[in-house]
Structure 1
């Protein structure tokens, strides 16, 4: 997911007008502050520079910014209808048993009750069981510890989505 060379997709992203670039970035991450930071960094000379800007912006998100970002993510096991991104990212839950889906729903609700937001994990490449085990492991965290884990997971998700954004732009 790293590229030290300038790609046609990155050049096209850099060339988007501000409104189109803002929309594309909002689809990757719902945080306005994150999107603003990346917009301010354009043009990016390499994909690595884009990812580094994303990492830096994610590290600077306030609690309110993190909440805004998390609001853009559906609960694990319940991707947004008609949203290919959340369906693709949560593919590991697609074939899960009814029992696992029910357990995940219960765990999601308990997590949300405790922390006040959805359980956020970089679900790409994870099985339903791995996601269940992760929420079980994390539910006993302090809010402060969990916020830092959420920030790290959000950073991973943002990088994957930015890589896809550049790839998608390349295909246009």
Structure 2
């Protein structure tokens, strides 16, 4: 079985480094720092669908380097209230299989997702950044089985941590995978 990578709401594959800006920083970081606030917020919402998180991140620019940006992301993520996490989860989609995966695998994954959503009231999220594509389905199913045994408080903490991890992966993609043409940080007007 092969899975569609579960990173970046539909964006697949590992980050591809883009040309560096002066000082060795990713060019996308310079664009994020220089973008109009609305454009920065829109780009950051693609990393985490919490408006509060995106606004806070945009307000704390400029970031001197990727490490500072990721540290700010973690801090903003730890400060999210349950309503903010619910908002971010509403912007997520469940991990899914490629269309050519066996029908039985689609059924098993669909049933596990339905059970999870029924128990916890939101979509299952898992960061697979360190998982090879050939192992992603097994990782998702194992994660679902393990996390279905959690109580609500334990699962809330695990979900929040997975959301922070996903945001980090997406931020790295945002600032390193965008091309020299400005990528996703265009002024939305």
- When normalised by structure 2's length, the TM-score is 0.77
Displacement after TM superposition at 1:33 (Å) = 1.2
Question: What runs of 5+ residues in structure 1 fail to find an aligned partner?
Answer: 78-92
Give me the whole-angstrom Cα distance separating, in 2, the residues matched to 1:26 and 1:47: 18
8 Å CA contact retained: 2:73, 2:168: yes
In proportion to residue count, which structure has more helix?
1
8 Å CA contact retained: 2:29, 2:66: yes
Displacement after TM superposition at 1:123 (Å) = 3.2
Match of 1:31 among 22, 42, 50: 50
Give me the whole-angstrom Cα distance separating, in 2, the residues matched to 1:42 and 1:69: 21
Highest RCO, 1 vs 2 (Cα 8 Å, sep ≥ 6): 2
Give me the whole-angstrom Cα distance separating, in 1, the residues matched to 2:83 and 2:58: 20
Question: What runs of 5+ residues in structure 2 fail to find an aligned partner?
Answer: 1-14, 16-22, 182-189
Specify the alignment match of 2:9 in structure 1.
none
Specify the alignment match of 2:108 in structure 1.
103
Specify the alignment match of 1:113 in structure 2.
118
- When normalised by structure 1's length, the TM-score is 0.84
Specify the alignment match of 2:82 in structure 1.
63
Displacement after TM superposition at 1:96 (Å) = 3.5
CA RMSD of aligned residues (A): 1.7
8 Å CA contact retained: 2:29, 2:65: yes
